[in-house]
Structure 1
Amino acid sequence: MWLHRADLAEQAINERHAQTLWLLPKTNLAVVAWPPNTKEKLHYRWHYWWQAHYLDCLVDAATRRGTKVRKTRIRRTVLGLRVRQLGRLTRNKYYDDKLWLALALARVRKLESKSKPKYLRELERNIMDGVDPTTGVLPWREGEHFFNVPTNGPAAIMAARNGDIATARRLVDWMIDHLLAPNGLIMDGIRMSMEGPKVVKPTHPYCQGVVIGACIEIAEALRESDYEASVRYLTHARSLVHAVAKEMATNSGVIDWKTGDGDGGLFKGILVRYLADLVMRIPEDNDANIATKKIARRLILASAESVWAHRLEVDGLPVFPTDWTEDARLPRNFGVGGSSLSDIVRVVRIDERDLSVQLSGWMLLEAAARVSEVPA
């Protein structure tokens, strides 16, 4: 059931959003909204990190079933990204954006069982060269004095997957030490100012997801060499899952956090990606791990059931709601970019129109497809 629904999500996004870049053959990118306006069709308006998550979702589908069509689309998307960046994936001041793409490209490499391409090595090096020498962590963007979880969480995941466990641990320890809220969730970041460091307190869903993901990577890497440290990172991951279940979900387990449109549309999808990672990888060697695995699985499947129940269908394919407990609204593009006036006043704004919102729905169904095979 969930495999079929994930296939429908993939088909919906590819039919509505995927197109060549500037009519160039063998390229592919996802337009950032559907129905798109002229600027969006031309990829004048595009979002670097949304494309990274689109690529990640393409890899999810190909990992489930690696068809020739899927692998070809992945290759064309990578080419589209490189062309749109004029050959330099490092042409971006935001470290979190670059990290999302680095993670997706590394998964492409693993899927294809190929050596790391030069453009990915350059991207990873560019990112790690940005580490602030005073704090030992990455800023949100170049020249910025804001150090946040959406940057350092993915950085820790990347470092761990590249075998740099010391760096991964340093980043995760910094986030746990400085940004753990009283309710057990991870706050957004720390902004340095003339008056000293100020904590930015919002607790976004994706902040929880990336720290869970980083802890799982580190724990797995340390399992044989430093079991005590491995258990400590698993404890962090378990605590975050319990906090998410208590603070970010309904009593029935549906993740219920108002993220709206734009970048926020991706936040819940990123969370469930790493909840699924935990379900698939946490060792079942004690009761606490088994209980946490069940909670994470329940959060994913309850959310997926709710999103599927609240979807719209257009031409037989789903449109996912931005709010996972409410009905989806029919997207339309009137008043969102047709003129400079509408850009300012946003005459009509349908959150479901954004690629980010639809990608979150796709991520959720891919997560459900992964964990549905795991016994309850």
Structure 2
Amino acid sequence: MVIAKLLAARAGVAERAVYSRHLRRVWGVPGTLLGAGAWPPLFKDKIHTSFNYWWQAHLLDCMVDGYLRSPSELRRRAIGRLVRGIRVRNVLGWTNDFYDDVAWLGLALQRVQRDVGIAKPKAVNAIAERLRDGWTDHAGGGIWWKRDDDFKNVPANGPAAIFLARQNERADLSRARSIVDWVEEHLVDPGSGLAWDGLHVHPNGEIREYEKNIYTYCQGVLIGACVELAKHGQTGKWLDKAARTITAVHDDLATNGVIKGQGGGDGGLFGGILTRYLAQAALAIPDLDPDRHETADLARELVVRSAEAAWLNRTVAISGPLFGPEWTEQAREEEGRDLSVQLGAWMCLEAAALLERSGLDVATA
């Protein structure tokens, strides 16, 4: 059985391993940090040749999770240094050409301001403007994946909707609703209830083809957006969609309640992102609608079982545990080189620790 506060301790161990193995200055600039993309780091990792902008956004999110679990000045300083490191390494500003990257960083910076007290209003405003400009009427609406591209997808629209809803301004909230309505109309499989990846658009605005790949993080951001919107009215409508997606994840994207992995590289983050928004759903849904306790319990169970499996299947490496991309299988060191894989597991452990300190049942048989 999992005992009280054990999940917080596990998350702390994962946090220390990432700090020890991956965090380093940007080009030697004092007061900066960035996550090296792999461990053991090659020379290109040490000098951050590959930036992996959106990995850094999730590293920042995980560091905020750690701060909320156990606030300290050391954690707060590290968060400030990572924010500065991201800005220094991005060279020309806070944004890039990928709307999904920008949205992920925006979500992390919103939390840094709200939960840690480090405000970057120019960054948040620049990101908000970029996301507002990403919406067009091609294919009936939605935000592009990348500037000057022909692809619109859930990984850009989902986090953008969450970000805009959290801006809590009338126009942004309206746009967030429109985004999720568009995703529901165009990118949710009517059979399974799961969100596809995205669609390609002709120059005249007509849909050219669909990318019907199913990724776990697409489900996570759709759940997150629906829960966020449910806090601002039409609660039943949005929670119906969240419940459908949570059930579909349990039925099709989990093995015995453990979320399936989707490899290394970018895929290493996918399961962790899903657990982040499942945990938020497990906490928010009972307050929004007490009659939906079964949906909240299902979300909680997915998080707890996934975290337990990730922990039990870790391997031992220098400076702490090393996690694999598939949490139901014993981790192998060669599969855990990517920062993304370690962040995905750390994110999952923090999600479980959040449920633990919120008083939810985190016991596993």
- Provide TM-score, normalisation by structure 1: 0.89
Partner of 1:203 in structure 2?
214
Secondary structure at the aligned position of 1:199 is classed as strand
- Would you say 1:289 and 2:289 are equivalent positions? no
Q: CA offset at residue 286 of structure 1? A: 5.3
- Would you say 1:3 and 2:8 are equivalent positions? yes
In the TM superposition, structure 1's runs of 4+ consecutive aligned residues that sit over 4 Å from their partners are 284-288
Q: CA offset at residue 158 of structure 1? A: 0.7
Partner of 1:30 in structure 2?
35
Secondary structure at the aligned position of 2:74 is classed as helix
- Would you say 1:110 and 2:114 are equivalent positions? yes
User: For the Cα contact (< 8 Å) 1:269–1:360, is it kept in 2?
Assistant: yes
Partner of 1:94 in structure 2?
98
User: For the Cα contact (< 8 Å) 1:284–1:290, is it kept in 2?
Assistant: no
Partner of 1:279 in structure 2?
282
Secondary structure at the aligned position of 2:258 is classed as coil
The amino acid that maps onto 1:99 is A
What per-residue deviation string (whole Å, max 9, x for no partner) do you get for residues 197-241 of structure 1?
32210110000000100001100122xxxxxx2111011001100
Partner of 1:50 in structure 2?
55
| Aligned-partner Cα distance in 2 for 1:185–1:96 | 19
What per-residue deviation string (whole Å, max 9, x for no partner) do you get for residues 269-321 of structure 1?
10000001101111357565100111111111111111111101124611011
Partner of 2:87 in structure 1?
82
Q: CA 1:367–1:247 in 2, change beyond 3 Å: closer, same or farther? A: same
Secondary structure at the aligned position of 2:41 is classed as coil
Note the 1:1-376 alignment, pairs <5 A: 1-90=6-95, 92-113=96-117, 116-134=120-138, 135-163=140-168, 164-181=172-189, 182-193=191-202, 196-222=207-233, 229-250=234-255, 252-257=256-261, 259-284=262-287, 289-315=292-318, 317-330=320-333, 350-373=334-357, 374-376=359-361
- Provide TM-score, normalisation by structure 2: 0.92
User: For the Cα contact (< 8 Å) 1:301–1:372, is it kept in 2?
Assistant: no
Stretches of structure 2 that go unaligned for 5 or more consecutive residues are: 1-5
| Aligned-partner Cα distance in 2 for 1:153–1:322 | 23
- Give me the identity figure in percent: 43
Q: CA 1:230–1:6 in 2, change beyond 3 Å: closer, same or farther? A: same
Stretches of structure 1 that go unaligned for 5 or more consecutive residues are: 223-228, 331-349
Alignment size in residue pairs = 348
Deviates more, 1:307-316 or 1:155-164: 307-316
| Aligned-partner Cα distance in 2 for 1:58–1:285 | 28
| Aligned-partner Cα distance in 1 for 2:345–2:356 | 16
User: What root-mean-square deviation, in Å, do the aligned CA atoms of Structure 1 and Structure 2 show?
Assistant: 1.6
| Aligned-partner Cα distance in 2 for 1:369–1:19 | 26
